[in-house]
Amino acid sequence: MAKTKKKQERKNYIDYVESDPIFQPITETIETNYMPYAVSVMVSRAIPEIDGFKPSHRKLLYTMYKMGLMHGHRTKSANIVGETMKLNPHGDMSIYETMVRLTRGNESLLHPFVDSKGSFGKQYSRDMAFAASRYTEAKLDPFCQEIFNGIDKNAVDMVDNYDSTTKEPRLLPTSFPNILVSPNLGIAVGLASSICSFNLAEVCDAAIAVLRSPRCDTEKLLDILKAPDFPGGGSVIYDREAMRKVYETGKGPIKLRAKYEYNEDDNSIEILEIPYSTSIEAIMKEITDMFKEGKLKEITDFRDAIDLKGFRLTIDLRKGTDPEQLMQKLFKFTPLEDNFPCNFNVIINGAPHQLGVKDILVEWIKFRTQCLTRELTFDLDKKNKKLHLLLGLGKILLDIDKAVKIVRETEKDDEVVPNLMVGFSVDQEQAEYIADIKLRHLNREYIMNRLADIDNLRQEINEIKAILDDEIKMKAYMIKQLTDIKKKYGKPRKTDIISAEEVKSFSNEIMIEDYQARLFFTKDGFLKKITQQSLRGNAEQKLKEGDKLIFEGDISNKDEVVFFTDKCQLYFAKMSDFELSKASDLGVYVPKQLDFEPDEKVAKMIINPSFDEKQLVIFVFENGKAVRVPMCQYATQGNRKKLKKAFSDASPIAGIIYEQSDDYFMMINSEKKAILIRPSLIPVKTTRTSIGTTVFAMNLKKKQKITKVLTDFEDKYPEAMATYRKIKIPATGVLMQKGKK
């Protein structure tokens, strides 16, 4: 009854909610409320369009253009911000911050759009704040002529502003692919854009190449548009395959590196340029953290040395420090080497698209063609109108006195134009033009001078028509514009290009402290690394009950070590991977340290192994077989930590010998029989998993197995050389003397 009552109550509640007019399903809420917001952020705020501008940039620059700041003196930034609010109804600070990034003083752009005076902060520093808008001044940079060229000739659509009180351009008719020249970062809802900057001259050449040959492929573009060029300079670590991926897909990382100089007189490093994607504060924080952790013992001091000359980060070195090696370390662990994450999302016809470099150039060419078509059509209409008026003016040249007489004898003002139309057979537009001529200009000289323009006008009209009617001539017209822009505004690259093959990669070996120590290793797999100082007065080593030492020797902290295990696996490690111990400690348990499998034990430890083909390792198995394998079979690429199937698992391993010479070694079986043989008697196999299927090293009877393999047998078995030595295999074991184990 209780369950039925609860179900009924739940049903009544759902019926009530669904009948409530305030109730709205979540899917409907997302569709009606969230989606319009998301689209608005993408299209109207965060993602640039094909002209290379976000709406906030476009509104600001157009406001400055309408204020007459293309020429003349600068005005206070506060005036610009106030006027921009007529198009961009956001807070004054957000508008001012937009302008700051476009200024020459901020150094965010290769080609700034705003000529600025005053403190505008710096792109490479997040703490160098810009001054308030009432203190700074600005006007448009002459370079802006190339982004407004044709805007007054109907080159682009003009749309209402937010309150329909004025008009603003939907796009700016940029004369060059600004989308690739100006860096752009933006985060929308579920979508981001990160477009790096390229050198203007190279971008113009790339656009010309695509105009001349639509089939221009990525390989050719890579030869022309070599790599991104960032305002802050630095160096691009050039990987052609990675760059090809960015050019083709519009997505991928660009690896950047700082530029530096070594000052020998002061024993200091001067960082002169840093990656565009970082800041001096981020770099100094990482250096500070490393310094506090004792990871930068090579330096004594570092400081922000930015002055009027520009960026500078000074690092004072300790005497004897190798500056190049230190910089490799800093490149590895600080943002002095950083990635710029390319993500070329662009708004095309109101929708976001991720485009490669060629696709962006193709879309820009389409956009620019439309702008030029509209601009040339505007000029054509204007010239046709002027020609039409001049042709009418030419008709009064035949009888100027008649024109004067018609005007003089017409009684009413509104009849002058109709009478001229009748008297000279002209239309109303031509008659209006004739009627408006001043009396002083009704002479033959004035009229002849005006009529001289007719031939030039006809030639210009024919040229414009030819361009509009011929796609090839339209492309040639665009190519000429791009060539002129390159010649006028082109600059040398700021960002150097260095080959990835030439870059020295940092080795963790540099971070490893080099010192001598004493190594102790036990049968159960415990390892002790003890400094000589710690060993003084502590000769006795603590061991686990039942355990015993099987190795003791001097090592360096930078030595390498490998461990063969009873599960046919090989583990790679460095002595620096193991912490220092004391004589009173049990030491580091190797299976746990190297993450062995359950019940896996060390079968052999080799310090500083040689992976040369002449170096051999001997595997002796419990079934009496033995094999020699070249150590080169265990050489690996990279920092591999584990190698499976290091040797055959057809029989359990009885012993492993790292062959140092052709000295005898001893094999003992479960029946206390032994043989002494040279390594050279055992065949060499070139594969790791070989077990020596053709020859046994020692003959064994049923249920017998090898239990020991010894190289240091002389002290314990002095009779061995005389009693157990064999000159060929397989060999039958000799019963050992009583009392020997």
d(CA 591, CA 405): 119
Question: What type of residue is 524?
Answer: D
How distant is the alpha carbon of residue 355 from its chain centre?
16
Distance separating alpha carbons of residues 67 and 56, to the nearest angstrom:
17
- The rounded Cα 385 to chain-centroid distance in angstroms is 54
Q: What angle do CA 383, 459, 387 make, to 5 degrees?
A: 35
Q: Do strands 698-699 and 731-732 pair parallel, antiparallel, or not at all (unpaired)?
A: parallel
Q: Are 703 and 671 in contact (CB under 8 A)?
A: no
Tokens matching residue 602: 């060390």
Strand partners, 669: 706
Give the SS3 label for residue 546.
coil
Question: By the 8 A CB rule, do 435 and 420 touch?
Answer: yes
Active site residue 433: no
CA triple 360-363-369, angle to 5 deg: 135
CA distances from 101 to 95, 110, 113, 257, 357 (A): 10, 11, 9, 23, 24
- C-alpha 419/C-alpha 423 separation (Å) is 6
In angstroms, what CA-CA distances link 281 with 44, 247, 284, 541, 716? Answer: 32, 31, 5, 50, 67
Q: How many CB atoms lie within 10 A of CB 415?
A: 11
Instruction: Give the side-chain half-sphere CA count within 13 A for 707.
Output: 11
Segments in 514-589 forming alpha helices (H): 532-535
Task: State the Cα–Cα distance between residues 643 and 666, nearest whole angstrom.
Answer: 28
Catalytic residue among 16, 34, 135, 515: 135
Q: Please name every residue paired with 271 in a beta bridge, in sequence order, or none if there are none.
A: 260, 313
Give the integer Cα–Cα distance in Å for 666 and 720: 8
Give the span between the Cα atoms of 571 and 267, in whole angstroms.
Answer: 43
The angle subtended at Cα 302 by Cα 301 and Cα 307, nearest 5°, is 135
Question: Catalytic residue numbers?
Answer: 135
